[in-house]
Chain A
Amino acid sequence: MNGLAQHLPALQVVVPMLVAAFVVLLRPRGLAWAACTVASVLAFGIAVELTQVVLGAGPVTYLMGSWPAPYGIELRVDALSALLLLVVTGASVFALVSGRQSLDAQIEVERQPYFFAAWLLALAGLSGIVVAADAFNIFVFMEISSLASYVLIAGGPDRRALPSVFKYLIMGTIGATFYLIGVGLIYMMTGTLNLADMEFRIHAVAEQNPILAAAGFITVGLALKAAIFPLHVWLPNAYTYAPHMATAFLAACSTKVSLYVLLRFDFFVFQENLAGHAFQFAAYLMPLALLGILVGSAVAMFEKNVKRMLAFSSVAQIGYMMLGASLVTVAGLTAGIVHIFNHALAKGTLFLAVAAFAMVAAGVRLDDLRGIARRMPWTFGAFIVAGLSLIGIPGTAGFVSKWYLISAAMELGPAGLPLVAVILISSLMAVVYIWRIVEVACFAKAADEGTSAVSVSPALITIMWFAALANIYFGLVPELPLTLSGAAAAELLDHLP
């Protein structure tokens, strides 16, 4: 690599961050959106390029200012980061390109430059977490992305967003603080912040108790950020009352990035070095994952607001990812990681469709969507495709992760059967909550048919269908996400004894 290509890992963060500063100045209508979109597309391009490199030549490391690793700041992109980068930047591009109309409707014109600046900061922060190779930079980027996300969520016209974002802020800050306490403890014992360096030095630490405490703090703090059951309570309201496009962006990627950090720490840093950590990790997180799957799906079945319903479904889907990881096998981790990608596809599409519904219908409660299928057949079609992917119908991306997850659970023999049962029961619950919407949309009589004169922009329909077809494409040709997640799983487990 030479020239500009060499600096891709840094540019991944720098591009959106610099544009963010500049976007604030763009007062004329639409310009801020355009700049934000261009920056996102650039970031996506960089992510695609980095993925190519990682697939071809393995992990990429980048030394900020050429300072050597433990002293300078190191950026590192491996298969797992590449997958996450694709998800984060892809979600941003999809939401922005398709979202102009929806965002214009929800964000006042004079506040748009600030909103889009926050958007880019969130993008930069999330990308930064993924490329950073040391614990402290991860913390800094986590704070940047969190603060920006609070702004995005509170940026809409719905006043109910304010209390939910306050709750998110309090819980998010607790999570970040826990993480920082953990990192501080490790720093105290090892004197390093670089993850790779940490891994070696922890090994040499004689007194393990502070490290154990650090592992506890970091795991809990990140679990809070990742909305792992029962620390998910901030998530449903935050997603429900945020502007629709912000929900589409954040729901597709933000919790997954925290999950990513959790995997990094637990597999790279702790597993090999702490006695019994593998057991603690699996034995504590697996029940939580299972409960999250069941409770999230069960609540979603009875939820009347479609956005809240999808948010609770996200709680369950995060459970799937955790379940895969807590099996601590190649198959399990592959399943969990590939589900990060596949769930982002399905949930992103669903939220785009919900945004489109919200343009035409009075709201996004189930009652508002009566007969919507007749008025918006295209949107509804995309919604069904993504819904089937969420359920895990064969031929869609969701099926690939379900197949891997069930196979991984079956590898355990009889002990895996309860896990299989939970996965299947939750899939069936997904059938119920998706089909409730289908029935209302197809068969219920609308109270005020055709009162709204708004029609959904072609950009939204096009992108939505593009995303829906991506669900099918990656269900039939899942090579890319599987290669990445397989490599990521192998890499993570490589650090185990």
Chain B
Amino acid sequence: MNAEATILLALTLPLAGAVGIALAGRVSPNLREAVTLVTAAGLAVAVWSLLPVVMAGGRPGVTVTELLPGVEIAFSVEPLGMLFAALASGLWIVNSLYSIGYMRGNNEQHQTRFYVMFAISLAATMGVAFAGNLFTLFVFYEALTLSTYPLVSHKGDEKTVRSARVYLGILLTTSIGLFLPAIIWTYTVVGSGDFTPGGIIEGNIDGPAIGLLLGLFVFGIGKAAVMPVQRWLPAAMVAPTPVSALLHAVAVVKAGVFTVTKVIVYIFGVDFLLAAPSSDWLLYAAAFTIIAASVVALRQQNLKRLLAYSTIAQLSYVVMAAAVLKPLAEIGAALHMVAHAFGKITLFFAAGAIYVAAHKTEIHQLRGIGWRMPITMTAFTIGALSMIGVPPTGGFVSKWYILAGAFAAENYVALFTIILSTVLNAAYFLPIIYMAWFMPETEAAAATHGEAPWPAVLALAITAMLTIAFFFFHGAALELGRQVVENLS
């Protein structure tokens, strides 16, 4: 099959899978889960089959339709999108495995709807990853927001609905109120919104307007959670944990930072932004978000909320790395998207496994839990070390490149932020690890649980291993990152 057809297949396969899941859900849960897994595997095969093409320098693309004059629905696979799509599609398989264990172990309601919406969300994610221009990206960005709403509000009680309202409200407000005008502005002055190496803004907008447009983009892309538009992410934690794990640690939030990076690299152009002083604020905004979110994370009692604030900080790592505007830092941004995904999905898997097995959600309840759930807590420890950036975990690799980029740029704000946030990360993750392994259980009598259902445990073991494997084998991701910046100074 040629690359163009594969792109379209990657977009339609999850949708077809969603239909299949809905139909199979009427027959039996086992068949339904089989359809989910087969769809996920099929999608991964399709997406990964594009990898050699892109690695060899190919940029397969396909234009579906011209909606308005100059405004097209078009897809084009470039290295960054390839990386994101490969990541999301690969982790969907693991996450589906985990979902089976979690949803059944928890006796959740409306499981068919859950799997259907999950598949649709993945289709939207693929659209974001492969979008060839701003308009297409926006279409799928909004589709991703809307298709995840039923997942966030899954439980349906009053508290959940209120949180889901915050989720939808912030994401739609920012995207319609800021992102859309930024896109239309771009189309109006440039006449196109195609993602082009080197950017398309140069010569069309100058002066302070550059900073303004950048602001519209960065804060309009609410999914990147740069403060002050981060509140939707903790709110989204009311969702079942598989949603938090794949969508709010990988697909949705990475769609945000991916879009920000893509806008910086392919719309503004790195060199152009470097020469535009009005865009400097982005670095400070991201740095502030990293520190502030880490400080807030320190004070969290609920494990999932802590992970959410940690995610906010880690997302801004990517934004800040992109805003350093040096090739090494851009590579670091790309690598960090992957490294953080592996680590954070492991942490969420572990948090969910703890909830399923022990019904514990608060940090102080975790004393001594390591000995009851050794695999889960080992995985948790690996994920936490990756967040801090300790070798041999994936988090070290990406931090290395970001630091190298910051040194190259002699950017001491970025350097200082990374160092301080590493300390903060350690300060909120290490006590949990210590508590889980070295402190005696307090409610020993009541707690007679072991590990969560095996699919969940298997899934978190896989992602924990991936977190370590990424330390040793990140050649492909590095090559893709290098291709993004190959024509930069």
- CB <8 Å contact, B65 and A410: no
Cα–Cα distance between A403 and B142 once the two chains are bound (Å):
15
| In-complex Cβ contact of A410 among B139, B153, B165, B188 (8 A) | B188
Q: Is A456 an interface residue (CB 8 A)?
A: no
User: Contact at A393–B161, with CB atoms within 8 Å?
Assistant: no
Flag if A407 contacts B65 (CB, 8 Å).
Answer: no
| A424 & B176 in contact (Cβ 8 Å cutoff) | yes
Q: Of the listed stretches A84-92, A142-150, A263-271, A427-435, name the one at the interface; the rest are far from the partner chain.
A: A427-435
Docked complex Cα distance between A262 and B124 (Å):
43
CB distance B68 to A477 under 8 Å? no
Kindly state whether residue B115 has any CB partner on chain A within 8 Å: no
Q: Does B177 contact A (CB under 8 A)?
A: yes
Closest CB pairs A-B (n = 10): A394-B139, A410-B188, A443-B161, A406-B184, A424-B177, A427-B176, A431-B172, A443-B156, A394-B142, A393-B142
Bound together, the chains give a CA A428 to CA B73 distance in angstroms of: 24
A402-B180, A428-B172, A428-B176 provided; 5 other pairs, C-beta below 8 A?
A388-B146, A394-B139, A407-B184, A428-B177, A443-B156
Pair A407/B188 contact, Cβ less than 8 Å: yes
Interface residues of A in 377-402 (CB under 8 A from B): 388, 391-395, 400, 402
Q: Judging by beta carbons under 8 Å apart, are B187 and A407 in contact?
A: yes
A420 to B188, CA, bound (A): 13
A144 CA to B252 CA, complexed, in Å: 55
A442 to B149, CA, bound (A): 12
User: A392 contacts B176, CB within 8 Å?
Assistant: yes
In the assembled complex, 23 residue pairs joining A and B whose CB atoms fall closer than 8 Å, in A order, are A392-B176, A393-B146, A394-B138, A394-B139, A394-B142, A394-B143, A402-B180, A404-B68, A406-B180, A406-B184, A410-B181, A410-B184, A410-B185, A411-B188, A424-B177, A428-B177, A431-B168, A431-B173, A435-B168, A439-B161, A477-B65, A477-B67, A482-B68
Docked complex: A421-465 residues within 8 A CB-CB of B: 424-425, 427-428, 431, 435, 439, 442-443
Please give the distance in Å from B9's CB to the nearest CB on chain A: 19
Cα-based distance from A488 to B484 in the complex (angstroms): 45
How many whole Å from A77's CB to the nearest CB in chain B? 26
- Residues of B near A391 (CB, < 8 A) are 176
Q: Is B426 an interface residue (CB 8 A)?
A: no
The chain B residue with its CB closest to the CB of A405 is B184
CB contacts (< 8 Å) of B142 on chain A: these are 393-395
- B462 at interface, CB cutoff 8 A: no
User: Which B residues lie within 8 Å of A216 (CB)?
Assistant: none
Asked if A287 lies at the interface with its beta carbon under 8 angstroms from chain B, I say no
- Give the complex CA separation of A395 and B158 in angstroms: 31
In contact, A476 and B187 (Cβ under 8 angstroms): no
- Cβ of A45 within 8 Å of any chain B Cβ, yes or no, is no
Docked CA distance A404–B68 (Å): 9
Is B409 an interface position by the 8 A CB rule? no
Q: What are the residues of chain A within 8 A of B187 when measuring CB–CB?
A: 407
Closest beta carbon of chain A to B169's beta carbon, Å: 8
B71: CB under 8 A from chain A?
Answer: yes
Whether B165 and A439, one on each chain, are in contact in the complex, defined by CB atoms closer than 8 angstroms, is yes
Partner of A403, one of B146, B153, B172, B184: B184
CB proximity to B under 8 Å, residues A104-122: none
CA distance A181 to B165 in the complex (A): 52
B153-190 interface code vs A (CB 8 A; 1 in, 0 out): 10010100100010011001100110011001101100
Tell me whether A443 and B184 are in contact (CB under 8 A): no
Query: How far, in angstroms, from A33 to B156 measured CA to CA in the complex?
Result: 43
What residue of chain A has the Cβ atom nearest to residue B189's Cβ? Answer: A410
**A420-B181, A428-B172, A443-B156 are known contacts. Are A478 and B188 too (CB-CB below 8 A)?**
no
Select the residue from A391, A402, A439, A477 with max chain B CB neighbours within 10 A.
A439
A407 contacts across to B, CB distance below 8 A: 184, 187-188
Q: Which residues of A contact B67 (CB under 8 A)?
A: 400, 476-478
CA distance A407 to B161 in the complex (A): 35
Q: Give chain B interface residues in 118-146, CB to chain A under 8 Å.
A: 135, 138-139, 142-143, 146
- Contact check: which of B68, B180, B181 meets A400 at CB < 8 Å? B68
Minimum CB distance partner of A400 in chain B: B68
A478 near B138 with CB under 8 A, answer no
Write out the residue numbers on chain B whose beta carbons fall within 8 Å of the beta carbon of A411.
Answer: 188
Q: Which residue of A lies closest to B160 (CB)?
A: A443
A41 CA / B143 CA spacing, docked (Å): 35
Q: Say whether A403 contacts B71, CB under 8 Å.
A: yes
Residues of chain B with a CB closer than 8 A to A406's CB: 180-181, 184
CA gap between A404 and B181 in the complex, in Å = 12
A400 to B187, CA, bound (A): 14
What are the residues of chain A within 8 A of B65 when measuring CB–CB? 476-477
Q: Which of A11-47 contact B (CB under 8 A)?
A: none
In the bound complex, residues from chain B placing their C-beta under 8 Å from that of A428 are 172-173, 176-177
By a CB distance below 8 angstroms, the chain B residues around A393 are 142, 146
The answer to whether A424 touches B180 (Cβ under 8 A) is yes
B168 touches A424 (CB 8 A): no
B153 adjacent to A443 (CB under 8 Å): yes
CA distance A442 to B150 in the complex (A): 10
Within 8 A of B (CB), among A65-85: none
Contacts of B176 in A (CB 8 A): 391-392, 424, 427-428, 431
CA distance A191 to B146 in the complex (A): 59
Q: Which chain A positions have C-beta within 8 A of B143?
A: 394-395
A443 to chain B, nearest CB (A): 5
Q: Report the minimal beta-carbon distance from B214 to chain A, rounded to whole angstroms.
A: 17
Cα of A327 to Cα of B373 in the assembled complex, Å: 67
Bound: A373/B412 CA distance, A: 55
Q: Taking the nearest CB of chain B, how far is it from the CB of A392, in angstroms? A: 7
- Identity of the chain B residue whose Cβ is nearest the Cβ of A331 in the assembled complex: B188
CB distance from A161 to the nearest CB of B (A): 35
CB neighbours of A404 from chain B (8 A)? 68
Q: Which residues of A contact B181 (CB under 8 A)?
A: 406, 410, 420, 424
CA–CA, A251 to B146, complex, Å? 28
Residues on A with beta carbons closer than 8 Å to the beta carbon of B173:
428, 431
User: Which chain B positions have C-beta within 8 A of A410?
Assistant: 181, 184-185, 188
CA distance A388 to B172 in the complex (A): 12
User: Which chain A positions have C-beta within 8 A of B180?
Assistant: 402, 406, 424
Distance from A276 Cβ to chain B, minimum over Cβ atoms (Å): 29
The smallest C-beta distance from A461 to any residue of chain B, in angstroms, reads: 18
Chain A residues with CB below 8 A from B73, complex form: 476
Q: How far is the CA of A403 from the CA of B188 in the complex (A)?
A: 11
Report chain A residues within 8 Å CB of B184: 403, 406-407, 410
CA distance A400 to B69 in the complex (A): 12
Minimum distance in angstroms from A433 CB to a CB of chain B:
13
Interface residues of B in 165-223 (CB under 8 A from A): 165, 168-169, 172-173, 176-177, 180-181, 184-185, 187-188
Residues of B within 8 A of A395 (CB): 139, 142-143
In the assembled complex, the CB of B305 is this many whole angstroms from the nearest CB of chain A, namely 23
Chain B's nearest CB lies how many Å from the CB of A106? 34
From A388, A391, A406, name the one whose CB has the most chain B CB atoms within 10 angstroms: A406
Give Cα A117–Cα B181 distance, bound, in whole angstroms: 47
A411 to B185, CA, bound (A): 9
CA distance A407 to B146 in the complex (A): 25
What B residues does A478 contact at CB under 8 A? 67-68
List of B residues within 8 angstroms of A439 by Cβ: 161, 165
Residues of A within 8 A of B177 (CB): 424-425, 427-428
A478 to B172 Cα, complex, angstroms: 24
The smallest C-beta distance from A389 to any residue of chain B, in angstroms, reads 13
Chain B residues within an 8 Å CB radius of A476 = 65, 67, 73
Q: Who on chain A is nearest to B71 by CB?
A: A403
Distance (Å) between the CB of A90 and the closest chain B CB?
22
Complex interface: chain A residues within 8 A of B146 (CB) = 388, 393
| A482 to B68 Cα, complex, angstroms | 8
Question: Contacts of A392 on B, CB cut-off 8 Å?
Answer: 176
- Give the chain A neighbours of B188 by CB distance below 8 A: 407, 410-411
A410 CA to B183 CA, complexed, in Å: 11
